[in-house]
Amino acid sequence: MSIASETVRIVVADDHLVVRTGFAALLDTQPDFTVVQTASDGAEAIRICRELTPHVILMDIRMPGMDGIEATRQLVAAGSSGSPGSDAPRILILTTFDLDEYVYDALRAGASGFLLKDVNAERLFDAVRVVAAGDALLAPGVTRRLISEFALMPAKAAAPPTSKLKSLTPRETQVLRLVAEGLSNPEIAARLVVAEETVKTHVSRILTKLALRDRTQAVITAYETGLVVPRFRRSE
């Protein structure tokens, strides 16, 4: 999904009334944003999304009943219209702590990134625009968190790539490794001595071949398949 000129339609899901109305009011100050509805839990967010097909959801990670992780999983799996496809809204997870133990699970479920609830206005607006444009909000800090989570897992033995990874060219595999290390497109371009547009093309092809939504999912895939292994593991 790429939103070039149309207004970005947003749903805010949080079980605290003050939080969701505050975010909604703030987002509505932007001429290119429209908050179409708010939700108090994950189940309500899913129902609203199926009815109103928003582009972006700000999703609280912890809510009574259906939490943000399960809601994210269902929305990504089904698409906003209720049938599998690429029309699923982009999801930004809202969390109180950046080391929230559930952030990793939310990213694995298909969220495009996460924001702290004390985020400033400009950062919030930028984040919504980034994910609405089809990109992942994958700051170096997020990548480091993903890597630290993988470092807690048992080490994977070196294994041949899965059938999906075999579809990548050697250069695409190299780019995927660098994405998993948290490098931006300009940084990858500098490392490989190629144009930034070339890197963008490689990343786009990687996502298409592996049926991934964004860079966040690419990082997860790189580690889960054993293509990339954390350099430092925490002691047992």
Residue-by-residue DSSP string for the chain: ---SSSPEEEEEE-S-HHHHHHHHHHHTTSTTEEEEEEESSHHHHHHHHHHH--SEEEEES--SSS-HHHHHHHHHHH-TTSSSSTTPPEEEEEESSTT-TTHHHHHHHT--EEEETT--HHHHHHHHHHHHTT-----HHHHHHHHHHHHTSPPPPP-PPPTTGGGS-HHHHHHHHHHHTT--HHHHHHHHTS-HHHHHHHHHHHHHHTT-SSHHHHHHHHHHTTSS--SS----
Q: Does the pLDDT value for residue 209 go beyond 70?
A: yes
Average of per-residue pLDDT across 165-173: 93
How sure is the predictor about 159, in pLDDT bands with cuts at 50, 70 and 90? very low
Q: How many CB atoms lie within 10 A of CB 96?
A: 12
Q: Tell me the C-alpha distance between 194 and 25, whole Å.
A: 43
More confident residue, 213 or 97: 213
- Architecture of domain 165-224 in this structure: Orthogonal Bundle (1.10)
Average of per-residue pLDDT across 210-224: 82
Q: Which of 163, 128, 157 is nearest to 35 (CA)?
A: 128
Q: Tell me the C-alpha distance between 207 and 86, whole Å.
A: 13
Q: How many CB atoms lie within 10 A of CB 41?
A: 18
- pTM exceeds cut of 0.85: no
Q: What is the residue extent of each domain of the chain?
A: 8-137, 165-224
- pLDDT recorded at residue 173: 95
Of 82-86, 91-95, 117-121, which gets the smallest average pLDDT?
82-86
Q: Does the pLDDT value for residue 132 go beyond 80?
A: yes
Q: Does the pLDDT value for residue 85 go beyond 80?
A: no
CATH of 8-137, one of 3.60.21.10, 3.40.190.10, 3.40.50.2000, 3.40.50.2300: 3.40.50.2300
Q: Does the pLDDT value for residue 216 go beyond 90?
A: no
